Structure 1
Amino acid sequence: MAVTRELAEELPAEAVHEAKARAATLLLAFRHGNQLAFDEELDLLLAEHAEREVTTLLVWIAAEAVRKAYAPEVADRVLRALARRAPADTAAVAVDEEMAGAARLLEAVGAGDVDGVRNLVAATPDTTYLLGGLLQAVAMMLPLLPDGEAEEIAAELRRRHHGRLIQVPEARRS
């Protein structure tokens, strides 16, 4: 049985799990192109001065990924190539806006294609962009509504938000 001992200046064992979760949150936001989530988590880490712990865990995760994906004689070459290709501006995350098909979502909703909507949402890695595109589309449609419709919709949303749901007739539910 191996015995481990905490060294001075080492991250306490109970803090490791929290740091791993934060590193995973940062990696997921980066992987899925969610700039807002990435920035928010990074700001929290910087405010709490936890960047060293999380950076250590991110490096550990990357080293494990390289170790599992490449033979030992290839791993260093891969890492050197990554270091050479590192972008000059590392503050932004890569976003695949082509996958954020708000127009396709609107078309599927308009056609009543429930499976199409489900599949599109499930296939979109960053639903933040998909919902952002949908919000933009709704904003573009608002001026086309007949007078009073936007106000009626807003009033309905206020009623729902305040817990007074309006009963929908059984025929309209589905």
Structure 2
Amino acid sequence: MMATGELADELSEELPREEVEAAKARAATLLLAFRHGNQVAFDTELDRLLAEHVEREVATLLVWIAAEAVRKAYAPEVADRVLRGLARRAPHDTAQVPVDEEAAGAALLLEAVAAGDVAEVRTLVAGTPDTTYLLGGLVQAVAMMLPLLPEGEAEEIAAELRRRHAGRLPMPRGTY
């Protein structure tokens, strides 16, 4: 395994500091989208990187990040075994980001909110590795409930949100 310091030095020699920082930001965007199972964000960022032909620098930075994580988590004599194990378990199809839908208990969150159980809401949110799916499930639940509101309630809620976010939301259709 190449020492992470050597890898970082090699990258720094190839790119000016500003470009290294920009590449780190691009790599972080990819990693966050992958970690949170956000396929759309992952694909969008990857397409942008491929269009800009910066895939080599981002791949180098992703390897550097992985090597740093292994270096910090494992003793030197164990690190290579960990990396070999990761390589053996790597999926054959790498086009999809991993999503943990089972851990995203939107129904549990909705029930905890309805019961006013603040501690349970905090526990559910803190214990969910993929909050993207948890919040997405909550948005879906709210959308399913909207038709059940008494007439005019949805409009009042929208008007209140517009007041709170004045100037930041587009005007509703038909009011131009």
Q: Which category describes the TM-score, using the shorter chain as reference length?
A: 0.7 to 0.9
Q: Who is 1:170 aligned against?
A: none
Q: Are 2:152 and 1:138 aligned?
A: no
- The TM-score, its normalising length taken from structure 2, stands at 0.72
Select which of 131, 140, 161 maps to 1:157: 161
CA distance in structure 2 between the aligned counterparts of 1:6 and 1:132, rounded to whole angstroms: 41
Shift of 1:122: 2.6
CA distance in structure 1 between the aligned counterparts of 2:58 and 2:126, rounded to whole angstroms: 29
- State the one-letter code of the partner of 2:140: Q
CA distance in structure 2 between the aligned counterparts of 1:61 and 1:6, rounded to whole angstroms: 14
Q: Who is 2:97 aligned against?
A: 93
Q: Who is 1:117 aligned against?
A: 121
- Map 1:53-68 to 2 at 5 A: 53-68=57-72
Identity %: 82
Shift of 1:51: 1.1
Cα distance 1:49–1:130, how it changes in 2: closer, same or farther (>3 A)? same
Cα distance 1:86–1:153, how it changes in 2: closer, same or farther (>3 A)? same
Q: Who is 2:14 aligned against?
A: 10
Q: How many residues align?
A: 157
Question: Does the CA-based 8 Å contact 1:34-1:128 persist in structure 2?
Answer: yes
CA distance in structure 2 between the aligned counterparts of 1:157 and 1:63, rounded to whole angstroms: 45
Cα distance 1:56–1:111, how it changes in 2: closer, same or farther (>3 A)? same
What is the aligned-residue RMSD (CA, Å)? 2.8
Asked which structure has the greater CA Rg, the reply is: 1
Question: Does the CA-based 8 Å contact 1:33-1:94 persist in structure 2?
Answer: yes
**Which structure 2 residue ranges, 5 or more long, are not aligned?**
1-8, 168-176
CA distance in structure 2 between the aligned counterparts of 1:78 and 1:126, rounded to whole angstroms: 24
CA distance in structure 2 between the aligned counterparts of 1:6 and 1:89, rounded to whole angstroms: 30
Runs of 4+ in 1 over 6 A off after TM superposition: none
Question: Does the CA-based 8 Å contact 1:45-1:51 persist in structure 2?
Answer: yes
Q: Are 2:29 and 1:28 aligned?
A: no
Q: Deviations over 1:88-126 (max 9, x none)?
A: 221211111122121111111111122322332233233
CA distance in structure 2 between the aligned counterparts of 1:18 and 1:80, rounded to whole angstroms: 30
- The TM-score, its normalising length taken from structure 1, stands at 0.73
**Which structure 1 residue ranges, 5 or more long, are not aligned?**
164-174
Select which of 95, 105, 108 maps to 2:112: 108
Q: Deviations over 1:26-63 (max 9, x none)?
A: 22322232323322322332232221101011112223
Moved more, 93-102 or 14-23: 14-23
Q: Who is 1:48 aligned against?
A: 52
Question: Does the CA-based 8 Å contact 2:103-2:128 persist in structure 1?
Answer: yes
Shift of 1:76: 4.7
Shift of 1:150: 2.3
